[in-house]
Structure 1
């Protein structure tokens, strides 16, 4: 066989292989309708302004005493629920209904409304673009990891920001993350809460039971059940004890927690930032305090990047933080993914699901290192059981927190915060 013939045969094989792969891939079609449900519980300090990385974008979602979409991500103390629905049968769906169980205390239904997103204003070509000279941030960032009384050999990793290259930044801040799309705002995709239904999630609410989605273009029979494993998670009760300069973190276990992770960030001196995490391997944790897939959580447990569900304590090594630090802890719930009809076991059969739903859940605690128990702010409710308002006057002098916030501002452009 001459060279041209061999190339022809190879080409046919590649085309055949590609066609086979396409045929196999085409056997699974996207669902006609898709729903995303995000559940989040935040406890601890209701820190505002730029001092809490979880609330740095909070202003984009509103605030005050009413419920607004996106509170599952902003870190406001309390329990939050975000819902989004989409259907390929009606890309311009304006409204929909989600029937919820009585024990949700939001029954009989949630009204989902498509958001009215503001269009960006185009920049005039006649405007002169003023470019500011970039001044590299100064100072150093230190990374520690692992629970224990003292710093382990080989630590910390150090990043000198004045000398570091973009590759150095990438290497230093490489981290684990497997966060997929959840509830979101988009044209033609009704969501809750919204301006027409901005109810708060009541104290003691539960989503256990049957849920039904209805709307123009939504397939009939979009109904499913949420069980105890995917119910709203309780708040994390994070306590601290000081032992000769060593901070012992303790918490009550959550029955549905799949794993835990703790990270802390603080200042040391005028131009030094310190990151620490509970991971047994180097991990800054910037991408871990968020929803993660079940498979990723299980994999990171094996890698010892996360704390096991039966863990109840973790010690922050002595002396790594000079002037204080903010602690964030997350309990990962078990993500629920359902579709109807279920995916066939026979790979040769075409799978055309009518609907699918993804339920994500987490419980997150915020605290200042060395401040003991989180106190009455843990639940995000006041003495009457109502959501606590967050417009109380903040202390004028934030001390090391202000330095941390300023340091984060400098790094926003570098790390994409």
Structure 2
């Protein structure tokens, strides 16, 4: 079919395209707010350095407890919860409480001194080395019987201290979420705090939640089945591959969006000049220095992106072999692993379907989840199926926050990366 426009005869399809191009662009929907932003960060922790020492009510752990947590995902597990509320409204005497469907109200206290502001989203940057340690690092990556081509990547600090230019460290940029903080909002409240008590921790997050205070709108949302604390991540490293690699196995967590594992160890030997050899490995299929940022919450969309880049293990996978070269280079090592969880996001009022109507957001809420564990390489766990009945999560207040630092800080704190 032909039509005539401006004295010219053109096809019907071309006429439609011409009309669309000539039409004025659609006006974007006007969006204001939100007045208040609320985040709930829920973690399940188990294994070495996570669920053992304090999960028994502060009592001295038994030898069985210690051996259990060294084996990984067996025995005890704890729940940790962090609540953070930021608002553009000011209050001379800030007061706010989180009212879970079942349990004691959780007071959100405003810190007396506000730390430096952090943006809501940030991208992890190339690691910096300010004070090089007297060591060399062997970096391995990938699951398999043997380490792949080009491994290990060697970072020799003795050469750097002698004047050699710092080589580029293999690295993949990670986009992180940053919850509300005092520096970004007129008023801020958080839990846990100085008024926290272990017994305040809700045993379950399911059901109705309310946040009431004098510096934000009333916030109400409901978490349905499937949006609770994640199950413990049960990790087993008892098996050996035919070539001698260490087989890591874990139970599938239905709500997991992906998995990631690292190993930090040492050769147990020092060079003639006292140089220590550090061994690092990650489950990433691509060459990378796996910093602490990968062992924390990540948005589901970012996890999908990193699965596409083969940096994160897909949720359908439940096994990864640490190459024999890693086990040979590291006489001992600590394996740390995370199962990334999904998110629940809420906003009030809902976004109008008509783009001509403004969306004046009163509040938004994000609930995010993760499950972490760790074990000492060479300390076998029992059968995974037998461990599931033992791993009954217990409640515990959120541990002190740990500052994310550069490469040297990562090395110093690698024994307890979470």
TM-score calculated relative to the size of structure 1: 0.69
Q: Give the Å deviation of 1:160.
A: 1.8
Aligned residue for 2:139?
143
1:260 aligns with 2:259: yes
1:212 aligns with 2:210: yes
1:174 aligns with 2:182: no
Aligned residue for 2:223?
226
Q: Where does 1:2-401 land on structure 2 (aligned, <5 Å)?
A: 27-46=30-49, 65=58, 78-90=78-90, 92=92, 94-102=94-102, 107-117=103-113, 136-164=132-160, 168=166, 171-172=168-169, 174-182=171-179, 184=181, 188-200=187-199, 205-220=203-218, 222-243=219-240, 245-268=244-267, 269-270=269-270, 271-286=276-291, 287-320=293-326, 321-373=329-381
Q: Higher strand share goes to which structure?
A: 2
C-alpha separation between the residues in 2 aligned to 1:167 and 1:201?
Answer: 53
C-alpha separation between the residues in 2 aligned to 1:236 and 1:382?
Answer: 9
CA contact (8 A) 1:97 1:111 kept: yes
Please, which runs of 5 or more residues in structure 1 have no aligned partner? 1-20, 49-54, 56-63, 67-75, 121-133, 391-406
Q: Give the Å deviation of 1:114.
A: 1.5
**1:314-373 CA distances to partner (integer Å, 9 max, x unpaired)?**
110003232211111100001222211233455554322000011121001111111112
| Structure 2 CA distance for partners of 1:183 and 1:213, relative to 1, 3 Å | same
Q: Give the Å deviation of 1:310.
A: 1.5
Q: Give the Å deviation of 1:223.
A: 0.7
TM-score calculated relative to the size of structure 2: 0.69
Alignment root-mean-square deviation, CA: 3.9
C-alpha separation between the residues in 2 aligned to 1:277 and 1:294?
Answer: 20
Q: Higher helix share goes to which structure?
A: 1
- Name the SS for the 2:325 alignment partner: coil
C-alpha separation between the residues in 2 aligned to 1:109 and 1:383?
Answer: 24
Q: Give the Å deviation of 1:252.
A: 0.8
CA contact (8 A) 1:237 1:374 kept: no
| Structure 2 CA distance for partners of 1:364 and 1:249, relative to 1, 3 Å | same
